[in-house]
A and B are shown apart, each in its own frame.
Chain A
Amino acid sequence: MDYTFQFGQIWPRLPYLLGGAWLSLQIAFLAFCGGILIGTFCAAVKTFGGGITRRIVNVYVVFFINTPQLVQIYFLYFALPDYGIFLTSYMAVLLGMTLNAGAYLTEIQRAGFESRRQSEMEAAEVLGFTRLQQIRYVILPHVAKVLFPPLSNHYILMTLGTSMAAIFGVEELTGRALNVNAETFRSLEVFSIIAVVYVVVTLFASVVLALFGRFAFRAKMRIV
């Protein structure tokens, strides 16, 4: 156990690593936005839809929730070319993460949709609210308050999940760390630095999301 940490070679490469962090955030954000679109649609189908569409959505959600994201992306990246669909590694990771997020966000949002109460809607109707006003003033504030904490939690988990992209050769934070490792052989140093970068990035995101949730929706959120 006589290892000396030598960060000397790593510091000049820090901007390169931080550029990778930016790409990580970008992947997480894009996949989350795609996931929200899929999730909202599927949750609406699951709550209000008819028999057959509901069953299709159910199969999608159950399958994607019960299999690992890594193997899903493996499948997209290595198996689809056999059927004439060629994805770049970036696209495969993005698509895999989006589909996976869509399934999880469907489950989260369905719980939110079901938390609305019939009596609230009826009260709004009695007060002469139109359908749009009901959604805007009654359902949305209520659902947003319930949904915001688990959604932001999932966003943080997805930011961590982007490290998977390194396996497919996308040069985000972990991928660039592997590159720097290959150039300098200071593996422990590189990985401890990017671990700290991940902690800082997700802590920052948590603080921003918690403050936003508190002011916008009065959602009670803890940071630590």
Chain B
Amino acid sequence: MGDLFREIWQMATYYNLLFLAQGAVTTIALSAFGCILGGLFGTLLAVARLTDGAMTWPLRMLALIFTEFFRRVPFLVTLFLCFFAFQFAGLDVSTLTVGCVTVVLIGTAFLAEIVRAGLQSVHPNQWHAATTMNFSLLQTIRYVILPQAWTVILPPAFGFFILFIKDSALASQIGVVELTYVGKTFSNKGFSAAASFGVILVIYFMLSYPLSRFGAKLEKKLAPSRTR
């Protein structure tokens, strides 16, 4: 055990710490990017699935297929698909870009489901009332549904953000320099696997645990104001 601590002490040079910090920032940025853009596109998909009318059925179908496909394909496989798709499209982009695109695709699919569940949690009477008042679908969502639904949407969306911090570890497989990649580099530099991956595990914990505590608090705070 003493050896391990001595090794971790040796690991704590200025450039190693800088590298670690860089990795942590990339990890956070990757999942934040995926959740923000994914949230925007996901909301669009959720609204597309709520449209009714004969003209918009291709839109509904497309949204359904997109969400179901990307929710049922593993992160790693989506990552490789994007990676090779960019390669064959002849676009010379960094692996970070590939990681970002993957994360947005998956975030869109999952957040679309979360938003849709939130929109549907508002009582049907509210929808009918808005229709009676001659609100269009977008007006209904903007002025009637979202003000009531966001307290239902926010806690699981935040939970998904925390989940994403951990899932984005897989991005290291295509060479995105994030936290897990930093751990692999330390291991390659000659530090023992226990020290390098142990440090990475602890840093992930330090990122994820405060956020999950905050999420639990958020959920508790928003719960009483839920309108059914």
- Give the B-binding residues of A (Cβ under 8 A): 1, 3, 62-63, 65-72, 74-75, 78-79, 81-83, 156, 160-164, 166-167, 174, 177, 187-188, 191-192, 194-195, 198-199, 202-203, 224
Contacts and interface: CB of A to CB of B under 8 A. Distances in A.
A62 B206 CA distance: 11
B109 to A, nearest CB: 12
Contacts, number: 114
Interface string B61-77: 00010001100111111
Interface of B: 64, 68-69, 72-78, 80-81, 84-85, 87-90, 165-167, 169-170, 172-173, 180, 183-184, 187, 192-194, 197-198, 200-201, 204-205, 208-209, 212
Given A66-B166, A75-B197, 15 more contacts: A1-B90, A3-B89, A68-B165, A71-B200, A72-B201, A74-B197, A75-B193, A79-B192, A82-B194, A160-B73, A163-B75, A174-B76, A192-B81, A198-B77, A202-B72
A199 B72 contact: yes
Nearest to B180: A71
B81 A191 contact: yes
A177 B209 CA distance: 35
Contacts of A167: 76, 173
A78 B170 contact: no
Contacts of A69: 166, 169
B208 A67 contact: yes
Contacts of B180: 68, 70-71, 74
B75 A188 contact: no
A199 B66 CA distance: 12
Contacts of B198: 75, 79
Contacts of A68: 165-167, 169, 180, 204
Contacts of B183: 71, 74
19 contacts: A62-B209, A66-B205, A66-B209, A66-B212, A67-B204, A68-B167, A74-B184, A74-B193, A78-B187, A79-B192, A79-B197, A82-B193, A160-B75, A163-B76, A174-B74, A188-B81, A191-B80, A195-B73, A203-B68
A102 to B, nearest CB: 16
A103 to B, nearest CB: 12
Contacts of B165: 68
A166 B69 CA distance: 21
A35 B78 CA distance: 26
A1 to B, nearest CB: 5
Q: Which of A81, A82, A163 has the most CB of B within 10 A?
A: A163
Nearest to B3: A82
Contacts of B172: 70
Contact of A224 (B68, B74, B88, B193): B68
B76 A164 contact: yes
B98 to A, nearest CB: 13
